[in-house]
Amino acid sequence: MSEQTNTLQLSNKDFDIDMNLLNKKAKQKTLVIFFNPGCGHCIQFKPAYEEVAKKLNNNSKDMTIATVNTGENRDLMQRINARQQDFTVQGVPTAVSYYDGQYYSTYQPGNKGDHPYRSVEDVIEFVNGIGSAEITYKK
C-alpha cells in the first residue's frame, strides 16, 4: 500500500520521462529527494520536505518536489551512480536540485552544529538557493 505524500513519486520506470518533462519547463526548479523508508535520518527529514512540498507543489507552477525510494528502485540507483555525470547518491537522504533543465546542486541533510539540518526552514533555504528567483512559501 502506498503511503500518502505531497511529492511526485518517481521510480525506475518513469524517472527519465518525468525528469525530461519537468526539465523542459523554462525556469523550472525541481528538487528530487532520494530516501529509504527504513532510514532514521530519512524519517526525521520527511516531515520537513513533505510540508514544503504540500505548499509548493500546490501553489507554484515553477517548483516541483519529487521523491525516489532507493530501496524499491535499486536499478535506478545503480544507473545514476554508474553514470557519474552530475551527481551520485552515496547515502540517504540526498536531495538533488535542477534548475532550467540542468543539474544545479546536491544537498545532504546531515547535521549542522548541534541540530539536524532537516527543518522546514532548511529546505526552504535550499530551495530558494536553486537558480535565481526565490519561491514564496506561505505558512
**Residues 61, 80: Cα–Cα separation, whole Å:** 27
Q: 94: domain CATH number?
A: 3.40.30.10
Evaluate whether residue 57 is within a structural domain.
yes
Domain extent at residue 93:
8-128
**Residues 26, 11: Cα–Cα separation, whole Å:** 24
* Helix H or strand E encompassing 84: none
Domain count, the chain: 1
Sign for the pseudo-dihedral over CA of 54, 68, 15, 125: positive
Q: Cβ atoms within 10 A of the Cβ of 81, count?
A: 12
Alpha-helical (H) ranges within the chain are 15-23, 40-59, 74-83, 120-128
Evaluate whether residue 1 is within a structural domain.
no
Give Cα separations from 117 to 14, 54, 94 (angstroms). Answer: 30, 20, 12
Evaluate whether residue 84 is within a structural domain.
yes
Tens digit of pLDDT per residue, the chain (139 long)? 346 788 999 999 999 888 888 877 778 889 999 999 999 989 989 999 999 999 887 677 788 899 999 999 999 999 989 986 788 898 999 999 999 888 899 888 875 655 566 788 888 888 888 875 555 555 5
Residue 89 φ then ψ, to 5°: -110, 105
pLDDT tens for each residue of 107-132: 888 756 555 667 888 888 888 888 75
**Residues 23, 28: Cα–Cα separation, whole Å:** 7
Evaluate whether residue 3 is within a structural domain.
no
Evaluate whether residue 35 is within a structural domain.
yes
